[in-house]
């Protein structure tokens, strides 16, 4: 993971992010995840950079380097999951940026990110309720995490409840 973070930092300073004079309030270039074009902005309205890396140590991670918001996704792990699940995980990481979890992280940040991701993907027409049910075999063995991710079956139930909420809820 340390090597991946070093590569990301180098990318930001040598050509990505702010190093090339990119205006962070212009529309971000589309990123393709699972065959779909996705974009992300943080709570400040800044574009979130997307990187596909190897050996991240997790499927995806959201972080900020030198005030540049980044989502990194591990290409090796991505190859093993369905496209719609990849979209969910991308949107989950986007949610951490969009909800400002880097500036004020609530105790239920992971549940908030799951809910935001499901609603956004639903509203963009990228995810159906049935597809969330289909995530069950991939999350079934998850015991949750120290950071607040629910165990797999409970996480799916939470995601379905969020999907069923009205857009403003």
DSSP sequence for 29-56: PPEEETTEEE--B-TTSPBPEEEEES--
C-alpha 29: how far from chain center:
16
Contact indicator for 4, 55 with CB cutoff of 8 Å:
yes
For residue 41, the model assigns a pLDDT of 94
What is the residue whose two structure tokens read 């589309």?
30
pLDDT digits (tens, 9 = 90+) for 129-151: 999 999 999 988 888 776 778 88
What is the pTM for the complete model shown?
0.82
Hey, where are the domains in the chain? 2-164
Query: How open is the CA angle 72-77-159, to the nearest 5 degrees?
Result: 75
Binned at pLDDT 50, 70 and 90, residue 112 comes out as very high
Alpha carbons 44 and 133: distance in angstroms, whole number: 33
Collapsing DSSP to helix, strand or coil, 27 comes out as coil
pLDDT digits (tens, 9 = 90+) for 10-52: 444 444 444 444 444 455 567 888 888 889 999 999 999 998 8
Alpha carbons 69 and 31: distance in angstroms, whole number: 15
Nearest CA to 115 among 139, 134, 99?
A: 99
For 93-125, b/e burial (b = at least 16 CB within 10 A) is bbbbbbbebeeeeeeebbbbbbbbbbbbbbeee
For residue 35, the model assigns a pLDDT of 86
Binned at pLDDT 50, 70 and 90, residue 85 comes out as very high
Nearest CA to 92 among 65, 127, 68?
A: 127
For residue 18, the model assigns a pLDDT of 44
For residue 83, the model assigns a pLDDT of 94
Nearest CA to 137 among 91, 95, 80, 71?
A: 80
């Amino acid at each position: 993971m340390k090597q991946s973070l070093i590569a990301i930092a180098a990318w930001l300073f040598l050509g990505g992010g702010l190093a090339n004079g990119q205006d962070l309030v212009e529309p971000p270039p589309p990123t393709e995840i699972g065959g779909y074009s996705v974009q992300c902005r943080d709570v400040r309205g800044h574009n979130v950079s997307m990187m596909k890396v190897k050996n991240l140590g997790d499927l995806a991670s959201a972080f900020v380097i030198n005030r540049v918001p980044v989502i990194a996704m591990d290409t090796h792990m991505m190859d093993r999951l369905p496209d719609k699940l990849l979209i969910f995980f991308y949107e989950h990481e986007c949610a951490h940026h969009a909800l400002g979890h880097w500036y004020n992280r609530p105790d239920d940040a992971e549940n908030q990110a799951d809910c935001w991701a499901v609603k956004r993907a639903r509203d963009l027409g990228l995810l159906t309720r049935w597809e969330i049910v289909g995530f069950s075999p991939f999350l079934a063995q998850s015991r949750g995490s120290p950071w607040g991710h629910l165990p797999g079956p409970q996480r799916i139930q939470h995601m379905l409840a969020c999907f069923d909420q009205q857009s403003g809820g």
